[in-house]
């Protein structure tokens, strides 16, 4: 999803006002708050299977991994998706810090790149 220009400028202004590392920590805290709020949502969902018939989570995960591992087309797509996702998240996590500290970009404009 592409960010809107005003969101990028706002991120740059926050980085200039509070420092890039502080803004990154604040962003991580918002993800934590979101996870806590989602965890507190209580919805009644009937069991799909009886407890003795349902496989454990470990068994379900291992079945899924075996399924992916056995499919010659699915295996490289899943591996590529996982690797690119981790690489992009790492890149995006340090981009603002790099732009401000190394490139010496104005912190207010660092969100526009």
pTM: predicted TM-score of the whole model, two decimal places: 0.43
Residue among 9, 24, 19, 6 nearest 92 (CA): 24
pLDDT at 23 over 90: no
Query: How far, in Å, CA of 104 to CA of 99, rounded?
Result: 6
- Supply 16's token pair: 């200039």
24 in Cβ contact with 14 (< 8 Å) = no
State the average pLDDT over residues 18-22: 86
Burial class from Cβ neighbours inside 10 Å (0-12, 13-18, 19+) for residue 23 reads buried
At 29-87, the pLDDT tens digits run: 999 999 999 999 988 877 766 655 677 889 999 999 999 999 999 999 999 999 999 99
């Amino acid at each position: 999803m592409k960010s809107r220009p005003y969101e990028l400028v706002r991120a740059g202004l926050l980085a200039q006002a509070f420092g890039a590392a502080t803004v990154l920590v604040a962003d991580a805290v918002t993800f934590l708050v979101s996870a806590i709020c989602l965890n507190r949502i209580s919805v009644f969902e009937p069991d799909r299977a009886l407890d003795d018939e349902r496989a454990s989570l470990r068994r379900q995960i291992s079945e899924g991994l075996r399924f992916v591992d056995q499919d010659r087309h699915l295996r490289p797509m899943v591996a590529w998706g996982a690797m690119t996702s981790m690489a992009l998240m790492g890149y995006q996590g340090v981009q603002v810090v790099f732009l401000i500290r190394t490139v010496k970009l104005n912190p207010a404009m660092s969100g526009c790149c």
